[in-house]
Structure 1
Amino acid sequence: MSDTLIGLLPLYGAYIIALIVGLSAMAITLPASVLVATAGGFAAAGDLALWQVGLGAFIGFSIGDQCAFFLARSKGPWIMGKLKSSSSRAKLIDRAEGFLTRNGIAAVLLSRTVLSPLGPYVTYISGAIGLGWVKFTSAAMVGAALWSGAYSYLGYVFAGNISQISSALGNALGFIAAAGVLVGSGYWLFRRPSADSKAAETAPEESV
């Protein structure tokens, strides 16, 4: 399968990348990360444009995310039942559900980087439980941009060593996403006391 898809890259470029990444984002098992990194290597050789590789991956990822989210929003129980029909997928879905419950919107971002195998399932669960579309999409698009940019660019830089850099990419993306979550959490914790103080100051005093 991988060899066939790689053979199509010089012919269809960003189109085949967008298709495969989009289907992968919908929990269809395809070698999306290897394909994007390999396409980056093709760009280094001059057979593709790097910006087209990154853009194709980002568009495919974003469309796949939206399709999965709205499918789950309208057909949540049926979708989840189908996905859980496989015992291996059922375990991943249980992990994804617990992860989303504990971490909220941060789980959407992290599931596109350090925990990318959970990504499609976090998307379906987000739609099924009614997570706000704006919250989901903002985190999902940031994650998609990180993932697409990292795999395409590092494939470009390390052309010929795709298999060696795939695991390193996952770790690097996870570090970036985790750092972002920590910074955001720190900002929220820092702002909260001042907001609470202002609320206390403006609250009417109780009559004695």
Structure 2
Amino acid sequence: MIDTLLAFVPTYGLWLIFACVALSCLAVPIPSSMLVMAAGGFSAAGDFAYWSLVLFSFSGFLLGDQMAFLLARGAGAPLITRFQARPRFGKVILKAQRLLEQYGAFAVILTRTIFGPIGPYVAYVSGALKTPWVRFAPASAFGAFLWCVGYSALGYVFTGHIEELAQLISSSVGIVVAGTSTLALAGWLIGNYLRALRVQQRGE
């Protein structure tokens, strides 16, 4: 599927990435992390600005995440019951519930970085269990920002080795490695930006 999606990037550009990321946040099986990482390689090649990739992917993530939360909030606990009744979703919903019980809002951040595949279900569970929006939204936005910056930066920095990265991330160990790399790269980029901002302010 990723090859098909990438073939459409030259035609539909960043709007395709926006739509794919939003749909993946609704638990539609789209390899959005691989797509954003590959798009980071396109950005390094000069096809579009890196900041625009982050902006479009981040906007799509926010839209999809909020839609999942609000849809589940409207449906309530019966939605989770229906999910649990299906073999495909029962275990992942249980994992999402346990993470929320154990870590609260921090689980939202974790499942948008290190444990990304569970992310959509945490959004659904959070909404269905009536988690206050003011607790969910900031954690969701922060985790989404780390995810978008991290995966796009992986593609940007390691362009030419994206296929190897994709194979690594497809394994369970790779998911943790990629999540950790996402956090590290995002922290590095944010730190550099803040240092540059301080230097600029001192110069003024």
Shorter chain as denominator, the TM-score bin is: 0.7 to 0.9
Question: 2:134 corresponds to which residue?
Answer: 134
Q: How far 1:45 sits from its partner (Å)? A: 1.2
Counterpart residue number, 1:193: none
Equivalenced residue count is 177
Q: How many Å separate the matches in 2 of 1:172 and 1:126?
A: 26
Counterpart code for 1:173? T
AA aligned opposite 2:180: N
Task: Give the one of 173, 178, 192 matched to 2:182.
Answer: 173
Q: Which residue matches 2:153?
A: 153
Superposed displacement of residue 54, structure 1: 1.0
Deviation at 1:83, TM superposition (A): 3.0
Query: What secondary structure does 1:13 align onto?
Result: helix
The answer to whether structure 1 residue 62 and structure 2 residue 71 are counterparts is no
CA distance in 1, matches of 2:19, 2:139: 21
Paired residues of 1:40 and 1:159 also in contact (CA < 8 A): yes
1:3 maps onto 2:12 in alignment: no
Q: Which residue of 2 aligns with 1:22?
A: 22
Work out whether residues 14 and 56 of structure 1, in 8 Å CA contact, stay in contact via their aligned partners in 2: yes
Cα distance change on mapping 1:76 and 1:174 into 2, 3 Å: farther
- Cα RMSD, aligned residues only: 1.8
- C-alpha distance 21-86 of structure 1, shift in aligned 2 (>3 A): same
TM-superposition CA deviations, 1:45-68 (whole Å, max 9, x none): 111221111111100000000000
- C-alpha distance after superposition, 1:149-176 (max 9, x if no partner): 0111220111121133343322323678
Q: Is the 8 A contact 2:114 2:179 kept in 1?
A: yes
Give the partner amino acid of 2:153.
Y
1:5-24 CA-partner distances (Å, limit 9, x unpaired): 10111222211111000110
* 8 Å contact from structure 1 (residues 10, 48) kept in 2: no
Which amino acid in structure 1 is aligned with residue 86 of structure 2?
A: S
Give unmatched runs, 5+ long, in structure 1: 178-208
Trace 1:1-208 onto structure 2 (pairs within 5 A).
Answer: 1-165=1-165, 166=169, 167=174, 168-173=177-182
* Structure 2 gap segments, 5+ residues each: 187-204
Letter in 1 for 2:181: A
Change (3 A) 1:131 1:29: same
Report the Cα distance in structure 1 between the residues aligned to 2:78 and 2:26, rounded to whole angstroms. Answer: 15
Give the C-alpha shift of residue 82 in structure 1.
4.4
Aligned-partner residue type, residue 14 of structure 1: L
Matched-pair contact (CA < 8 Å) for 1:115–1:174:
no
| Structure 1, 81-90 or 33-42: larger mean CA deviation | 81-90
Instruction: Report the CA distance between 1:107 and its aligned residue.
Output: 0.5
What's the CA shift string for 1:37-93, capped at 9, x where partnerless? 000111111112211111111000000000000000001245324433431321010
TM-score normalised according to structure 2 size? 0.81
